[in-house]
Amino acid sequence: MIKRAFITESSLAGLIGQLAESGRRVLGPVRSGNRVMFKEVCSMEEVDIDHIVTTVSPKEALLPRCEEIVRWKNQGKETLMADENNPAVPTVVYGLRPCDARSVEALHAVYTWDTDDGFFLSKYDTTTFITLSCRHCDEHCFCVATGGGPGDTAGSDLLLTALEDGLYLVEIVSEKGQALANEYDSFFTMAHPGVMAGSGAESGHGAAANPGGATQSGATAQSGAEAPSGTTAQSDAEARHGTTAAPSPDQIDKESYLADVEKHFDLDTLRERLEKAFDGPVWEEQSLRCLGCGACAFVCPTCSCFDIQDETYGTTGQRLRCWDTCGLGQFTIHTSGHNPRETQAQRWRQRIMHKFSYGYNRLNITGCVGCGRCSRACPADMNLAEHLIDIAGAK
C-alpha cells in the first residue's frame, strides 16, 4: 500500500526552497505569457499553478531536446575521444501531472529494452518526480482512456493532491520518494493541521523549528497511529481537541478532490481495431488537414525518437542527440530519395500505430498518456482523442 502523509502549502514552499538550496536542480512550471515551461526554480514563488498541463512536457529532464553523446578532439590528423559533457545533475521535477509521470514509464521502456541507454538512465536514476494530481481538466484531457487518471500514481515518486485550505495529501509512491521524504521529514506531518491549529505550529515549519519533535526516518511512511512523531503530534492534538480527531492521511478520500475525466474510449478495443486498420482509409481521411510539422511530437511526454547530428567548434567536436519525429517527411527518407513513408497519411498512421499498437505489442507500453498536449498544440486541430474515438468507437 502506498504510504501517506500531509504537507501544508507553506511547508511545501519550504521544501522546494530547501531542495533548490541543496544543490539539486529543481524544475517547476514557470509561466511566461501564454506558455508554461519547466524551468529551474529556486522558490515556489516562481512556480505557476494556473494551468492544466505545461506547454511542453517535462520529458526534457530525462531527454533534453539536444544533448552531447560523443565528444572528440582533433589533433592534426588524429582524432582523440574525450569525455562527454553531459552529466546527470540530481534533479527534482515538481508540479508535473500524473499523466506526465506515467509517461516516464514509457520513456524508460524504450531506453532500456535490449540495450541500456546510459544518458537516459543516469538522468532517470537521479531524478525525483513530485507530481501534483489534477483538480481540473479540460476538453483535451483523456488520461483515463489511456489507463491513467487525474490521481494516478504511476511514475511518480511523490504524488501531492491539494485538499483544502492549503493542505496537500502526500502519497509516497517509490523508494526515491521515500528517500526524499526521509531526508526532509520535518516538512511532512501525519497530523491534520486543522487539528493542530492554534498550536502556533504551521505543522511543517513548527516541526522544522523543532527537529527533536520531527518524524524520524521512515516515520512518515507509517500510519499516524504507529508513527512516533505522529503519535506525539496527534496526542497533542487530542489533548487539545478531545477525541474527535481530524482524519489521518489514510482516511482522506482522495478521489473526491480529483478532476472528473471521462473515459473517452476503450483501449483494448482501440488496439484490436488497430490490428486490422493498417490498410484502411482512415489514415488518409484523418490526416488530410495535418500540416506535417513536429509540434505534436515535441510537446508530447512520450515521444522519444531522435536524430544524431555532428557539430564542430575549432578542434573540438560533439555528436548531439536531438529530438526528431516521424511526422516530418525527412525522418525516413533514404539518401537515394526513396521514402518508405512518403505521404502524411503514412506518417500519421505510424504515429498512431507506434503509440497504441507497435509499442504495446513490443514493449507492453502505451505510448500515450492522454495529456492532450498534441491536440492543444496542433495548428490544424488534429484532435488525437477524437481520432482515436473515430477508430475505437466512443465508450
Partner 1 sequence: MSYPNIYRPYLMRIDQITEEAPDVRTLRLGFTRDEDREHFSFKAGQFGEYSIFGEGESTFCIASSPTREGYIECTFRKMGRVTSALSMREVGDTIGFRGPYGSIFPIEEWYGKNLLFIAGGIALPPMRCVIWNTLDLRDRFEDITIIYGARTVADLVYKHELKEWDERPDVNLITTVDPGGETEDWTGKTGFVPTVLEEAAPSSQNTVAIVCGPPIMIKFTFPVLEKLGFGPDSIFTTLENRMKCGIGKCGRCNVGEIFVCKDGPVFTYAKMKELPPEF
Partner 2 sequence: MTEQLQQQARKLLDDQEVNLIIGYGEGSARAVRAVFVRSPEETEKLILDERCTANLAVYLNKKEIRALGKPAIVARPSVQRSIVQLAVENQLANGDITVIGIDDDGTLTLFSDLDKLGEHVLAQAPLRGDSPIASSGSRSASSEASSSGEASSSPESSASTESPHSPESPHSPEMDEERVRKLSSLPMEERFAFWMSEFAECLKCYACRAACPLCYCERCTVDCNQPQWVSVPAHPLGNLEWHVMRAMHLAGRCTECGACYDACPVDIPLHLLTQKMHDNMEEAFGTSSGEKKDKPVFPLNSFRPDDKEDFFR
153 binds, options partner 1, partner 2, none, Cβ within 5 to 8 A by partner type: none
Interacting residues with partner 1 between 259 and 278 (CB under 8 A): 278
- Residues 58-97 binding partner 2 (CB under 8 A) are 65-66
DSSP secondary structure string for all residues of 194-212: HHHTTSS--THHHHHH-GG
CB-based burial, 230-249: b 16+ in 10 Å, e otherwise: bbebbebbbeeeeeebbebb
Query: Taking CB under 8 A as the rule, does residue 195 contact partner 2?
Result: no
How far apart (Å, rounded) are the C-alpha atoms in residues 194 and 161? 16
Using the minimum distance from each CB to partner 1, give the nearer residue, 264 or 354.
354
Contact set for partner 1, span 310-329 (CB under 8 A): 310-312, 317, 319, 321, 324, 326
Q: What's the closest the beta carbon of residue 329 comes to partner 1, in angstroms?
A: 12
- Placement of cell 589533433 in the chain: 75
Q: What is the 3-state secondary structure (H, E, C) of 214-261?
A: CCCCCHHHCCCCCCHHHHHHHHHHHHHHCCCCCCCHHHCCHHHHCCCC
Taking a C-beta distance cutoff of 8 angstroms, is the pair 97, 134 a contact? yes
Residues in the chain: 395
Residues 182-241 that bind partner 1 (CB under 8 A): none
143 touches partner 2 by CB under 8 A: no
Scanning residues 33 to 52, which ones bind partner 2 (CB under 8 A)?
33-35, 37
Please count the other Cβ atoms lying within 10 Å of the Cβ belonging to residue 118: 13
Q: Rounded to the nearest 5°, which phi and psi values hold at 22?
A: -70, -5
Cβ at position 208, least distance to partner 1 in Å: 32
Instruction: Quickly count helices (H) and strands (E) in the chain.
Output: 14, 11
Using CB under 8 A as the criterion, what x/- string covers residues 64-103 for binding partner 1?
Answer: -----xx-x-x--xxx-x--x-------------------
Q: Which stretch in 131-139, 181-189, 193-201, 358-366 sits in contact with partner 1 by CB under 8 A?
A: 358-366
Least distance in angstroms from the C-beta of 308 to partner 2: 9
Query: How far, in Å, CA of 161 to CA of 255, rounded?
Result: 9
Residue (of 378, 145, 102) closest to 271 by Cα position: 145
Per CB under 8 A, the segment of 8-16, 134-142, 256-264, 298-306 that binds partner 1 is 298-306
Q: Where along the sequence are the contacts to partner 1 (CB under 8 A)?
A: 69-70, 72, 74, 77-79, 81, 84, 110-111, 113-119, 121-122, 125, 278, 304-312, 317, 319, 321, 324, 326, 331-336, 338, 340-341, 346, 350, 353-354, 357-358, 361-362
Contacting positions for partner 2 (CB under 8 A): 33-35, 37, 55-56, 65-66, 138-140, 284, 287-289, 291-295, 297-299, 307, 309, 311, 320, 322-323, 325, 328, 330, 343-345, 375, 377, 379-381, 383, 386
